[in-house]
Chains A and B, each alone.
Chain A
Amino acid sequence: MKSTENKIIHPLENAGVPEDQRHLYCDASPRPYPALNKYVERFLNWARANSLWILGYGTGCGAIELRPLLTSRFDISQYGMNPRPTPRQSSVFIIGGYLSVKTLKRVIRSYEQMQNPKFVVGLGSCTVNGGMYWDSYNTVNRLDYYLPVDVYVAGCMPRPEAIIAGFEKLKSTIMAGQAEGANEYAERFDWYKSNQKKIIKDWDMPDYNW
């Protein structure tokens, strides 16, 4: 992973939670992790790429094709992947297409709770430029405004095979040391946060859900 300059990290305000509860929450922004020694990093990337655990959260239509993918027909475990029920154990977040504002709030929470290394895969047109809900008042148009996305898969819905191809792409990106979404999120945390807060009007959760 690439090295980053040390920034002065200011404590988060957590203005969304009641004052008497603020001390309960983390007030530190996420921190980018600089790359280690070249060979260690290479080994780590190899390890990261080959143990991708998927967070089992069907955020939209895309979830319908995750079922065949995760079960016997396309059997994602033959590619070394596995669904997990909780963000704490997962490393891949599949955004299944459109995100309504209400879901986005939960997605941000889940994403921030995931431990590094973590990656985001965007399925379908909706994550790229709004897809068929481009003029809807309740769905976001560009996923990369709110979360760092590592791979996009075209389709509506992308077939399981296309999703597998997406994972293969993700693996090769990780191996090449370019799947830096989590670090990008940490580096541009303020930008992401302000984008998120712009559309989530009732921000009643901590600024960083760690």
Chain B
Amino acid sequence: MDRSKFPEIVDGKSQYDLDSGRFVKIWNGPQHPGVTGNMALEVVISGDEVVDLKTHVGYLHRGFEKLMEQRLYIQNFPLVCRICVPEPDTNEYLYAAAVEELSGLEVPERAQWLRTLTLEMSRLASFIMWLGGQAGSFGMGTVGQWAVAVRDYVLDLFEAITGGRIYHMYITPGGVRDILPEGFDADLEDVLKKVEKFMHDAEIVLFHNAVFKKRTKGLGIITPDMIDPYGILGPNARAAGSTRDVRKDSPYAVYDKLEFNVIVGSDSDAYDRARCRFQEMQQSIELIRQIMEIMPRKGSFYNRPPNVLHWQIPPGETYVKAESTRGEYGYYVVSDGSNKPRRVYVKGPSYTHAVALFEQMAVGTNYADLPGLMVSLHTYPPEIER
């Protein structure tokens, strides 16, 4: 983008002069309805054009990585899901996978299927919520109302399987904690139908909405040459033509046994990103149906690790990754042979999207589009600061 008309940048900082009267500095957030979650944007505008933007994070910092060093391996499994509130299962899966890899613990086939099922369900729930947010950020609250209600149906399913609505704490090192409850198949199909109906409605009122099209087309373009220098991942990158999808590139759980295509866009603006995510929702529904069809219904779903109170894991380090709704999610776990992890580093995809990328992209956009642009990058603050 052409930045020549904006103030000069020295040492990463824009040299605007507030006293000149040409610029106004506005704080969006942390208490602001237009920011996703608890974070803040320090925006400098000239007219209604954004001249400089700085993301402030850390409002949700709980020191997870430090806390995990203080706790036994098993004790961390309830902790990790809190790192990403709207889509906790990816965290649960990755932590379990990393621990299993380091300790050499095998996971039963059936558990892998159940894991994949919950992972896809949580992707679906997360996308639904994002869709509501995306519509809401452009003033279309109706879709937002629908979306949250429909997502709640998926949460009801989670409640039935795992016993928790938000924090499922279902995927544990060694497998999963329980099998599907009786009558789940019918409930699931019922909910999927509701989701499909919602998507059908949303398609008409959102993607064929003149206002939505007008405001999102051409907004926040990510060019393919930005992908690697900015570390862009997931649908944000795929809408710009990248074909990377961890589920396909390095299949985990049972993704290698499922049939699906990587969804790729071309226009790489906010509209196209929305479109890509919308298709990924459809894909998720399809995958859930596939899983339910071929999933084994018998057999063990849990391999017990050694007594979890004394469980020590041999020294080593590993990096495991999975595809969340925002892109590649990763856990880097270092063990030193003791009963507590030496270091757990959680790489959330929002980390780069919300800070480095967004600060760059926001410059030049209309101030009113800022919330919409932010949602179109699909960022969840807690995974940035952890």
Contact = CB atoms under 8 A, between A and B. Distances in A.
Q: How large is the interface on B (under 10, 10 to 19, 20 to 34, 35 or more residues)?
A: 20 to 34
Contact of B37 (A63, A85, A98): A63
Interface in B109-150: 129, 132, 144-146, 148-149
A73 B152 contact: yes
A98 B62 contact: yes
Contact of B79 (A58, A106, A132): A132
A7 B303 CA distance: 67
A177 B155 CA distance: 37
Interface SS of chain A? loop
Interface residues of A, number: 33
A130 to B, nearest CB: 11
B86 A60 contact: no
Given A103-B30, A132-B79, A136-B62, A59 B38 contact: yes
Contacts of A71: 132, 144-145, 148-149
Contact of A61 (B31, B59, B85): B85
Interface of A: 55-61, 63-65, 67-68, 71-73, 85, 87, 98, 100, 102-103, 106, 110, 132-133, 135-139, 156-157, 159
Contacts of A63: 37-38, 85
A57 B31 contact: yes
23 contacts: A56-B31, A58-B38, A60-B60, A61-B82, A65-B166, A68-B149, A68-B152, A68-B155, A85-B33, A100-B60, A100-B62, A110-B31, A132-B82, A133-B67, A136-B62, A136-B63, A136-B67, A137-B66, A138-B61, A139-B62, A156-B167, A157-B166, A159-B165
> Which 5 A-B residue pairings sit nearest by Cβ, starting from the closest?
A57-B31, A71-B148, A73-B149, A85-B33, A103-B59
B58 A61 contact: no
A58 B37 contact: yes
B32 interface: yes
A195 B58 CA distance: 21
A199 to B, nearest CB: 14
Interface in B69-93: 70, 78-79, 82, 85-86
A106 B31 CA distance: 8
Contact of A67 (B61, B66, B148): B148
A112 B63 CA distance: 28
A71 B144 CA distance: 8
Contacts of A133: 62-63, 67
A136 B59 CA distance: 14
Contact of A106 (B59, B63, B152, B382): B59
Given A135-B70, A156-B167, 20 more contacts: A57-B31, A60-B60, A64-B85, A67-B129, A68-B152, A71-B132, A71-B144, A72-B145, A72-B149, A85-B33, A100-B61, A100-B62, A102-B58, A106-B31, A110-B31, A133-B63, A136-B62, A136-B67, A137-B63, A138-B61
